[in-house]
Amino acid sequence: MLENISTAKVAGGWHKQYSHTSSSTHCSMHFAVFLPPGASEKNKVPVLYWLSGLTCTDENFMQKAGAFKKAAELGIAIVAPDTSPRGENVPNEDSYDFAQGAGFYVNATQAPYNTHFNMYDYVVKELPALIEQHFPVTTKKAISGHSMGGHGALMIALKNPKAYTSATAFSPIANPIDCPWGVKAFTGYLGTDKSVWAEYDSCELMQQAKQADYLPMLVSQGDADNFLDEQLKPQKLVTVATQKGYPLTLEMQAGYDHSYYFISSFIDQHLLFHHQFLTA
């Protein structure tokens, strides 16, 4: 059962927020959807799933990325889930990089997080099924995200290469098993067995990928990003991609930081990148 929370016309289309009870996270979840003008049961449109970063909700991308005009022009719907389960009964911590607002798009195995923190299942299975049931969309899907959400987008595409036409990321946490944000989150959600961590690490997954499962990837990274060297490490993904002949392009952008100012500067390019594969 979907509950509509807000509706606003934008760029000739519609931005809407919903809540629903999730069978994956066992709590109420919020998501936002942008429907381009003309989307209807007779004219279904493909979907870009957007995964946000630490501290975000469904609102950050929709309010700050400036994606609506280009998505409207290209006829692409955008769906932005929250970044974690939330609520009084959901475990939380007094930190910005773990628990609520920081689900890392994994299925937690460790108590007390394993009841609610199943964001992988939510994003990969439950949310697309819900979107395809209730909105005028096709089954063609692409995926993108920022920082923690960039990790989520690349990792989910690598694990489900037939489900997505293409994947892009802004400033992704490219190798979470080897950076402080990732080590903290994976220890808390997945325990200490690093073979389990590897199942959610884009570098490890790309290393295992079969050529028949390769899909086009674009990564944009600002060179003035404070998190670049310690947390993000996109060059490690490029090293694997080069070894494997994987079709990943990393574009370093001079002077840009980690913020939505960067995302809003290049979101049109990412939408155009996905459009060519969503409409092929």
Ligand X SMILES: N[C@@H](CCC(=O)N[C@@H](CSC=O)C(=O)NCC(=O)O)C(=O)O
Question: Can you tell me which of 48, 54, 124, 137 binds ligand X, judged by CB under 6 A?
Answer: 54
Q: Rg of the chain over CA atoms, in angstroms?
A: 17
Q: Which stretch binds ligand X (CB under 6 A): 17-25, 69-77, 162-170, 258-266?
A: 258-266
Instruction: Please state the closest distance from residue 101 (CB atom) to ligand X, in A.
Output: 9
Active site residue 225: yes
Question: Can you tell me which of 120, 189, 256, 260 binds ligand X, judged by CB under 6 A?
Answer: 260
Among candidate residues 206, 197, 146, the one with its CA nearest the CA of residue 176: 197
- Interface positions, 59-88, toward ligand X (CB under 6 A): 60, 64
Question: Can you tell me which of 55, 114, 187, 235 binds ligand X, judged by CB under 6 A?
Answer: 55
Active site residue 95: no
- SS3 state of residue 18: strand
Main-chain dihedrals φ then ψ at residue 183, nearest 5 degrees: -65, -40
**Rule CB under 6 A: is residue 96 a binding residue for ligand X?**
yes
Q: Which is nearer to ligand X, 130 or 173 (CB)?
A: 173
Instruction: Please state the closest distance from residue 50 (CB atom) to ligand X, in A.
Output: 12
- Interface positions, 143-162, toward ligand X (CB under 6 A): 146-148
Instruction: Please state the closest distance from residue 152 (CB atom) to ligand X, in A.
Output: 9
**Rule CB under 6 A: is residue 239 a binding residue for ligand X?**
no
Among candidate residues 134, 119, 106, the one with its CA nearest the CA of residue 26: 119
Q: How far is residue 246's CA from residue 244's CA, in Å, rounded to a whole number?
A: 5
- 96: how many CB neighbours lie within 10 A of its CB? 12
Active site residue 258: yes
- Interface positions, 168-227, toward ligand X (CB under 6 A): none
Structure tokens at 9: 């016309």
Write down the catalytic residue from 22, 24, 84, 147: 147
The one-letter amino acid code at 275 reads: H
Main-chain dihedrals φ then ψ at residue 156, nearest 5 degrees: -65, -40
Write down the catalytic residue from 58, 225, 270, 275: 225
Question: Can you tell me which of 51, 56, 76, 90 binds ligand X, judged by CB under 6 A?
Answer: 56
Q: How many helices, marked H, and strands, marked E, lie in the chain?
A: 10, 9
Structure tokens at 274: 């996905």
Beta bridge partners of 70: none
Question: Can you tell me which of 53, 103, 188, 216 binds ligand X, judged by CB under 6 A?
Answer: 53
Q: How far is residue 202's CA from residue 205's CA, in Å, rounded to a whole number?
A: 5
Residues that bind ligand X (CB under 6 A): 53-56, 60, 64, 96, 146-148, 258-260
